[in-house]
Structure 1
């Protein structure tokens, strides 16, 4: 053990490369609440992880003979770079979350992709004394916890109000660590809202649901803050409505959600649930014409230098997979946006299910999982 530790600390740091490194080992499991566990993951060989707080990894799991991809936000912080962690809530009927809770043990191997994602305050300019409002509910706390941990470790000159909503006090994920960060840093203020008291009748926090009155009580200057929100779709819809009603500048609002296992509706219901009006026009094409042929087109990935052939009736994702490339993906149906990629040149026909906004399409982004080429295509990937 001593030799191993000496080697790990004396060896030149090697960065984790998501394109070539594809396996993580479960190093530790922590029971956060009755139905939430944190899985601490490390590389088989010493590696340093670099990512933006709030990004996610995609797990490639073999469950009952099926390959299932599912993305989970990293609850860890890159300021502690030797390991990463995901924090998973057991979802009733959820295939992946239940499998992880029941089968993943210390020493288990996981195939992963990533990290990826754009939901991070660290990916935007951070002027001195920037003020943030983090709003989370349930397991949606994970990306915001990653950002809060990074800000705490780096002793950033940023003012953060962290408002978290839970069912009961016993369901507050990371409760003691949040309280410790509030104790350590005067620029970090914590607010907790619970639907009911549960088995803690002396609970002194807010009761019920997040309201304008509660928000104003904890963060009276919330109109001047940049807001980052993550949680169940109804919660985020309520937050958007609350802020819009208050006249908040929505250009300063950012949200993220990966709750695929709770979406048991048909495609139209999913569009309503996620408040994605684009779903009504899901057959969006980034081209004025559409045709079906047996033509072969070349797909080039600028960052990796890979090139693959893709027929006109094949999605770019399926062609990449057939060629052995591993791209971040989860739903494979144009719903989640996990595979979102910038198209440098070319034309595609894209039939998505709400996983991309029209303004992103106008800026040249596509979802390879539901995009078929109409010409040679160059992607920034």
Structure 2
């Protein structure tokens, strides 16, 4: 895993609770990334290290800076720190870009539909700019849900793109709490629902592809609606920022004590039922490597030397892991003789 030290070139206020941090590209070795990927930022706040992944809102080949956009989360230590404290000229350590939520060109595609809510627009915005500028034969649709017009991230930039690419780019805005509402054919009250999915799909050009980024409710609504309409699930992609935990999966999980060998030092850690190995290790001050915390990367991978572990919440199978390799962000001990090596 490569680490870089980047300088903040600009801090841009997007909404009352969202900022974009624009990093200056290194002078000699430029950081390469793909639209839709994420950058993992590292901070030390009140003596503790915090690591958080944030999707690029910049687009390679279009934006000169490396941009990540961060929405304030109530009680969120890092998101509040970024919104309140980070300033121009600050130097921040980051990990190399990761993520497979990216656009792969298919010459037969006629349409790409992006589905987002709130800050889920971030990776979608990066891909939208790429598609509009570099793939002139593809029609682009954005279905974007927010509380109100004032909470729309990238509002001005999206409006400019809609004007500049009026024949290829359409935006459908959903507002759940908007009080002052000018209705037109592309503004809707409430939330994105299956009825709208059906209506839109009947009017787009096929073949098509879909990218979803937002809360689990949005993903389930869009995915289920598309499948019911006969859409091939292989043409539907989603970005996952949280592990989906089914309570049924935790019935056999109990409090356990494990041994963790990290950097040659062995530590005994108490794992509370329902908490992952990574969560408890960080709580006791072990600065383990990690990034996405959703089982989509391999940064927190450990090797099981004894005992039994169970991975819970993975959105898709990880066929790249060996039988004794586990992602600690979603791993839970089943026995009290667990020993893990990193």
- In the superposition, the TM-score normalised over structure 2's length comes to 0.75
Gaps of 5+ in 2: 270-276, 281-286
Contact in 2 for aligned 1:48/1:81 (Cα 8 Å): no
Which of 147, 151, 159 matches 2:127?
A: 147
**Bigger proportion of residues as strand:** 2
Which of 158, 173, 181 matches 1:192?
A: 173
Q: 1:357 to 1:363 in 2, by over 3 A?
A: farther
Cα deviation, residue 159, structure 1: 2.0
Contact in 2 for aligned 1:37/1:101 (Cα 8 Å): yes
Task: Determine helix, strand or coil for the equivalent of 1:177.
Answer: helix
Q: 1:95 to 1:374 in 2, by over 3 A?
A: closer
Cα deviation, residue 172, structure 1: 1.4
Cα deviation, residue 231, structure 1: 0.7
- Within a 5 Å distance, the mapping from 1:23-38 to structure 2 comes to 23-38=5-20
The whole-number CA distance in structure 2 between the counterparts of 1:160 and 1:69 is: 33
Corresponding position of 1:288:
none
Cα deviation, residue 105, structure 1: 0.9
Cα deviation, residue 347, structure 1: 8.9
CA RMSD after TM alignment: 3.9
Task: Give deviations 1:13-71, integer Å, cap 9, x for gaps.
Answer: xxxxx7152x1111111111121111111246454231111111111111111111111
Cα deviation, residue 126, structure 1: 2.0
Corresponding position of 1:340:
298
Corresponding position of 1:351:
310
Gaps of 5+ in 1: 1-17, 261-269, 284-291, 300-307, 319-324
Which of 245, 251, 271 matches 2:245?
A: 271
Task: Give deviations 1:141-166, integer Å, cap 9, x for gaps.
Answer: 11111111111232443222111111
The whole-number CA distance in structure 2 between the counterparts of 1:116 and 1:36 is: 22
The whole-number CA distance in structure 1 between the counterparts of 2:300 and 2:290 is: 14
Corresponding position of 1:228:
211
- In the superposition, the TM-score normalised over structure 1's length comes to 0.68
**Bigger proportion of residues as helix:** 1
The whole-number CA distance in structure 2 between the counterparts of 1:312 and 1:130 is: 55
Corresponding position of 1:183:
163
Which of 19, 37, 40 matches 2:2?
A: 19
The whole-number CA distance in structure 1 between the counterparts of 2:316 and 2:339 is: 20
